[in-house]
Structures are given as C-alpha cells and as structure tokens.
Chains A and B, each alone.
Chain A
Amino acid sequence: MSVRVRIPTILRSYTDGESEVGASGATLAEVIDDLEARFPGVKGRILDEQGSIRRFVNVYVGNEDVRFQEALQTPTEDGAQVSVIPAVAGG
C-alpha cells in the first residue's frame, strides 16, 4: 500500500526538509519500517525502546488517532495519509 506521511518539523532533518514523504506498508508498523529504511534514525524518534509509540507523539491514519484504533497494527489503505504530530499542545 502506498501512503503519504506528514513529517513534523523536528523530524525534517531526516527527510531533507521535506514535510511530506511517500512510504509503503499494509500497517502503520510496516510504514514506519519503510520510512526507517529510507530515512535511517526516524523510527527511533517515533517509537520508544520497547517499540511502542512514544507517549508524546500522536500518530493519525487519516483523521483517526491510532490509539483509538489498533495502534501500530492499524491498517494503512492505499492512498491514506499518515500524520506524525507532537502531542505537547493545547490547554
């Protein structure tokens, strides 16, 4: 599955400044692995040492927070947009 991934400012040093990149994978976990293959280091910023999404990172597939879905096993359909967004906002 081919998806688009929105990259937050603090990860753009890994993507040559690109704010959106393409990636492939049938699940969010596969998409992140694909990103890591092309932009080494990015996975370690999104996931913690246990391989879970860091607690101050929000990841969305489409408009849905993956914590309301199947977390890293959330399916990523062809053409989906994945957004990685710092969680420290609001209030």
Chain B
Amino acid sequence: MSTSIIDTAAAVSPAPRPGAFGNATHLVCRECRATRPLGPHYACADCFGPLETGYDFPAVTRAEIEAGPKNIWRYQPLLPVPADITESRNMEPGFTRLLRADNLARELGLSRLWVKDDSGNPTHSFKDRVVAIALSAARELGMKVFACPSTGNLANAVAAAGARAGVRTVVLIPENLERPKILTTAVYGGTLVAVRGNYDDVNRLASEIAGEEEGWAFVNVNVRPYYAEGSKTLGFEVAEQLGWRLPRQVVVPVASGSQLTKVDKGFTELVRLGLVEESPYTMFGAQATGCSPVARAFKEGHDAVRPVRPDTIAKSLAIGNPADGPYVLDVARRTGGAVEDVTDDEVRDGIELLARTEGVFAETAGGVTVATLKKLIAGGRLDPDAETVVFNTGDGLKTLDAVADRVGPGSTIDPTYAAFASSVLGRPR
C-alpha cells in the first residue's frame, strides 16, 4: 500500500510550446460555441457546456497515414498531440485487430459483421488510446500529477502510462470495483485510492480535487477535451481497416457516451479531409439495463438525460450521470440509430456468445454490445443485410466473475483412458 504524500506545490508552466497540440488551435463549447485558448479547461465559462478541441487541419493523405507507426500516432495530424509524439515515452496503443466475425454473423443472421477488438491494447481496453492523448496534454501543459476517477479500465491505463512515462499517478476508484481491476492497477505502483461510493461519487470528488489542486491533470476532467479525442482513433482505424471506407452500421457501448460521439466525429473528419467517401452510417449505443439513462432518454424521446443510480455487472459502463449522454442522443437520432439496453443475464449470454463463436473473450461491456446487437436485430432496428461493426472495448479476464458460475469443466475424471472414453466420448464401460 502506498502511503506517499503527493507534492501539491507543482507549478503549471505558463504557455505551451509551439506545436504542443499539433493541428489543434482552440477549445470550443459544444453548447454555445464560445471559444477559448488551448489549456487545462474543460467546461465553458459561459454555460458550463463541454469544451472540445478545434483544429485547422492541413491536407492529409492515406499514404502519409499508412506510412506511420502501427499505433494511434499514425493519425497524429488529426489529434491534439505534437508532431514529435512518437519520441515521448508512452504506451503506443491502437491499431488493434478488426476481426471478420462470420460465425457470429451466421448465428445472428447478419450478412457481414466485424468485431473491433480493442482488448488488444497494452492494458487491454480502449482506454489506452484516450490516456495516451491525455498524457501528452498533461506533459505539454507542464502538469505534474496524472490522475483519474475510474471504473477500472481507465485506472489500469493511467497507472501503466504514468509508470512508463515516469509521472506520478493518483487513481480514484469506487471501493466495490472488481478485484482484478484493482490488482491490475495497483501493480503499476502510484497512488490508488478506494472511495466509499459509486463511480458518480468518485467522479464528483475528482472534479472537486481538479478545481483545487494546481498542476493535476485529471485525464477525464480538466484535460478531457484532449483525452476524448483519443476515441476518434477507433473510428479512423475501422475505416482504414475496411479499406478506407465507412461501415454502414456501428454498435458502440455507452458509459459517459464520449466514445460513441468521438467515433462519429472521427468518421466526419475522415469525410471532411477526403480520406473516405461520404456514405451514410447508423450508430447504435449499447447500455446495461441496470444503468441505462441514455437508452431510457432515447426511448422516451427526451433531449436531456436523467441521472440514475447504477446497478449492473457491467461496471465499466456504470456511469449514472453520463456527461456526453445528450450528444449520444443527438448522434443516434441524426444517423437513424438507437440506444438500447440489455439485462445482466443478456450481458452474460453476450460474453459467452462472442467467445463461443469467435474466440474473443470480452469484458462485460463487450457482452453489452453483443447482446444489444442481438436485440437490435430481433427488434428489426438493425439491418441484417448491411455491414456492421461491433466494438469490444475490454478484456474478459478483468471481469471473470461475470461468467464464473456459468462455465467450467464439463466433467472431472480419473487419469485413465477408460474414464475419458466413458465420461467424454460417451462410450459404455
């Protein structure tokens, strides 16, 4: 257990170096469009709306991207990171596999299905992408402490990235987090604090700390406009791996909702830069019923998302007060999609279905997306004849409890051929 006292006297350097944020030029409020200079700001001073990164993109070609490294830095011109980002100590996440999932497609009655398997990242979730961008922002802003509130995957990614970069980390988690996610954070060292409360309580605490402590980069609080941009790379990769075209349908898990909105932003930017042809796509959001504030708002036709108290095994999606919920609603409605939710038993079924058909062991969030895919097909809302990409954003090894009482040895036998023949092959003794 770490008992270290954090140095809170860390100073923030006054101005970032030229090119510190690549082609990013400013922050802009998603609500009222007010702008402010690049810096450790995340909420609009006028209306509290979320700030996001704005760019002045140069011409970028497919060949330039394809000549880049086999990680997210191949998209450096489209991210708020400096041109020399590859020289920094980071986790080099991304360029995970896009698996053609013919077995699962057959089982579900789909003509063509792909799984974007982001469990292949360094700490086994998509969070390595966003954290790599946040780490760059923290470094360029001269911030000294790298921190986050987390439902687990982010905790892993922050602790590991901080260790590799030699930056002090402070990770706040709800005390009831799955044990594997606690251990796979603590092993990297740094300060890990278990908080009595749920994720929304932890998130609130992080926001308060971020407002008090100078020089602390909370990846998903005060450097969130940069951090969130990392999820665009999921969209970039899917398009590039499909041969530079957009998929027709996408199913994405929704926690805060940031990932879904940034995949959409990524697709939009690829079209704007002429890297893919414009073609219609439909985005579906996936939630667990025990924490489905966005799905509920979608179904009830609301623009606002009413917070809920989460109660689901899909803890990585258990955000009862999702910051980007309203924008998920916008994207789903604009593209003709939907936000659907599935029960915990359906989540478990989804995990087993993906594992059994494609050899991919997803964490609970992946179970949510696969189960939602199935439900959307059954409800006639997802076109079975249109190419579909479903996202698995984490590794089943971190959420073993979800399937612990459902799978196991079919039999236990003595070490003899006779016992094997009898018990496994069904031959009479």
Q: Contacting A89 at CB < 8 Å: which of B49, B206, B255, B259?
A: B206
Known: A58-B321, A60-B204. A88 touches B211 (CB 8 A): no
In the complex, which residue of chain B has the Cβ closest to the Cβ of A12? B211
CB of A6 closer than 8 Å to a CB of B: yes
B100-135 contact mask (Cβ, 8 Å, vs A): 1 or 0: 000000000000000000000000000000000000
Q: Contacting A88 at CB < 8 Å: which of B49, B208, B304?
A: B49
A 60-91 contacts with B by CB, 8 A:
60, 63, 65, 67-68, 83, 85-91
B38-82 contact mask (Cβ, 8 Å, vs A): 1 or 0: 000011111111110000000000000000000000000000000
Contact A56 B48 (CB under 8 A): yes
CB of B283 closer than 8 Å to a CB of A: no
Q: Contacting B48 at CB < 8 Å: which of A10, A60, A91?
A: A10
Contact B203 A56 (CB under 8 A): no
A15-33 contact mask (Cβ, 8 Å, vs B): 1 or 0: 0000100000000000000
Contacts of A45 in B (CB 8 A): 46-48
CB of A38 closer than 8 Å to a CB of B: no
Contact B204 A58 (CB under 8 A): yes
Contact A91 B257 (CB under 8 A): yes
- Interface with A: B5-13, B179-187, B322-330, B351-359, which one? B322-330
In the complex, which residue of chain A has the Cβ closest to the Cβ of B130? A91
Contact A56 B43 (CB under 8 A): yes
A45→B31 CA distance, assembly (Å): 13
- The size bracket of the interface on A is 20 to 34
Contact B208 A86 (CB under 8 A): no
- The size bracket of the interface on B is 35 or more
A51→B200 CA distance, assembly (Å): 25
Q: How far is the CB of A13 from chain B (nearest CB, A)?
A: 8
Contact B48 A57 (CB under 8 A): yes
Contact A88 B204 (CB under 8 A): no
Known: A54-B47, A54-B48, A83-B208. A88 touches B323 (CB 8 A): yes
In the complex, which residue of chain A has the Cβ closest to the Cβ of B258? A91
Contacts of B324 in A (CB 8 A): 91
CB of B384 closer than 8 Å to a CB of A: no
Q: Which of A19, A83, A91 has the most CB of B within 10 A?
A: A91
A88→B200 CA distance, assembly (Å): 12
Contacts of B199 in A (CB 8 A): 90
Contact A56 B220 (CB under 8 A): no
Q: Contacting B321 at CB < 8 Å: which of A10, A19, A83, A87?
A: A87
Closest CB pairs A-B (n = 6): A91-B256, A86-B43, A88-B50, A90-B203, A56-B48, A89-B221
| Cross-chain pairs A/B with CB under 8 angstroms, 8 sampled | A10-B44, A45-B48, A54-B47, A56-B43, A57-B48, A65-B200, A89-B220, A91-B220
List 4 additional A-B contacts (Cβ < 8 Å) besides A89-B221, A90-B200. Answer: A56-B48, A68-B307, A91-B259, A91-B323
- Which A residues have a C-beta under 8 Å from some C-beta of B? 6, 8-10, 19, 45, 54-58, 60, 63, 65, 67-68, 83, 85-91
